[in-house]
Structure 1
Amino acid sequence: MLQFLIRRVIQVMPILVGISLITFALIHMMPRNIVDSMVPPGSPPSLRAEIAQIDGLDKPLWEQYLLWLHQVLHGNFGVSLVSGRPIGDALFSALLNSLQITFFAALVGFLLGILFGALAAVKKGRWQDSLFSLFFIAGISVPPFWFAILLVAIFAFDLNWVPAQGMGPEGWPLHWEQWRHMILPIATLSLIPMGVVGRIVRAATLEALSQEFVTALVAKGMRMDVIREHVVRNTAPQVLAVMGLQFGYLISGSILVDLVFNWPGTGKLLNQAILSGDIPVIQAAVLLLSVIFVLVNLGVDTAQAIIDPRMRR
């Protein structure tokens, strides 16, 4: 197992280096020179030269990259061109806010997907199968931002059951007022993972049930709980892989949902940076979200190897 983990970490390292190179290149794709964006209009050339020297922007690109990478590895993501404040504070605060709803949305979506997928497989060809399959198709097909607007219109405006926007008062542990603000974002974000995981669980369960080992276990008179355990062990690696991808998508793909609910997460931060042309913030957000996506999948691969030893080969 340790050899497998070391091998996977080595395989991931070139991906992380590639991500850092691409995100570093963003700063040099700006229409304006980064130094010109940091100084007031009409500033003397001596001021621009001084800022470039302080930030290392007068050095060759490879030296700038190594300097930037060194700073990032120490948690220094630079300064926002719009607010003039350190990017790291705002980025990590937004990430924590996003993880707050992403975790619960993934939990709800995965549990419902596994439950509905398993029931659809067991009830194959019956009305339950058709009903759950309709849920899966809706979860995959309905645009999340449209579903978010629909939930706000019904439950926030018409029924006035929950707040429409914001995250409520801060603090931990979460109390009821905070949960009320989280209900609609969680319901929206859980829609897609429920549909994707449900379809995969249904297909994987049907494939496992058609295997000869299930027929052999039934013929031997094995208990149903033992048969279910074997089916789960055979379907778990495939389902875990999909769950890992969906969790990564939830973290990095909630821009429109954040805007609908005015949720102060990474999606809202990234959208504001894009509209204002704040390239350093975009650079830092893309880098952090990409690294998290890669690390989540590394964790999923490790979990798969623990469940199924064949994955270690």
Structure 2
Amino acid sequence: MRLGPAVALTAILLGCTLHADPARFVSSRDLPRDVAGLGGLSGLEVSEDGATFTALSDRGMLFSGAFTREDGAITGMAIDRATRLFGTGGGPLVGTRNDPEGLAIGSDGTIHISFENRHRVDAYDAALSQVTPLPRAPEFLKLQPNSGLEALAIDRRDRLYAIPERSGHVKRPFPVWRLEGDTWREVFDIPRRPPFLPVGADFGPDGRLYLLERHFSGLGFTSRVRAFTLDGDRITAEEEVLKTRTWEYGNLEGLAVWQDDTGAIRLTMVADDNFMDVLPSQVVEYVLPLAGAPQTH
């Protein structure tokens, strides 16, 4: 979801504060400002070893690169590829068709990108040379403008899930759709716990679905990550693993979940600066307690 200038200017009024348990802060780094078009990042994927990343800009750019780390903390990052996305007709994405928000990469390298406003999901090959529009559920047409398919995730069986930013009512849960063949099916709902709204999702190596949520209070941003244990298509447990305080970070929108060499789960997030210098453009990383045996779902 794109934020207006008034929101961005209001957000700089507050200073940083501390984070909540059980997640432990590891590192935060500003993104390089000398890369053309780098900004407005709303989607993130990180490799299984945490070494490389792919990031999605809401102005239709896809960036890939590598992290530099010392003792597990991110000390730098380098962009080695920047590609402008194109539409199904071969031309550049423009107007209301150019508002990508969610990013999920399959085991075969297929890059799935969700768009709001014209609510849809497109699949690009790993080389970004071909694009295939995926089927659109009738429910997608009912989603609110600028609050559509905000989060994408892929489970270990390569099944694609989509979650909207808004559910339509403060007491209504968020639907979770899974693509099954040519049909999106609502497989379960995520409880809506105001005032937060979904902005990113990922399946962790522990089998849980992690959901990054964002709230803007008028004074600054607050972020939350909830983890859901699944038994088939049923949520059996919900845990809040991270909740930041107002303006601790910028507008965190992209989430990648992976496991480091100690066995701990890492949450790597990226902030959308709305292409404004007053907002942070940063990558933030937390670590959870050592993971147990992987779950199935």
TM-score (norm 2): 0.27
Q: TM-score normalised to the size of structure 1?
A: 0.26
Larger radius of gyration: 1
**Which structure is richer in relative contact order (CA contacts within 8 A, separation 6 or more)?**
1
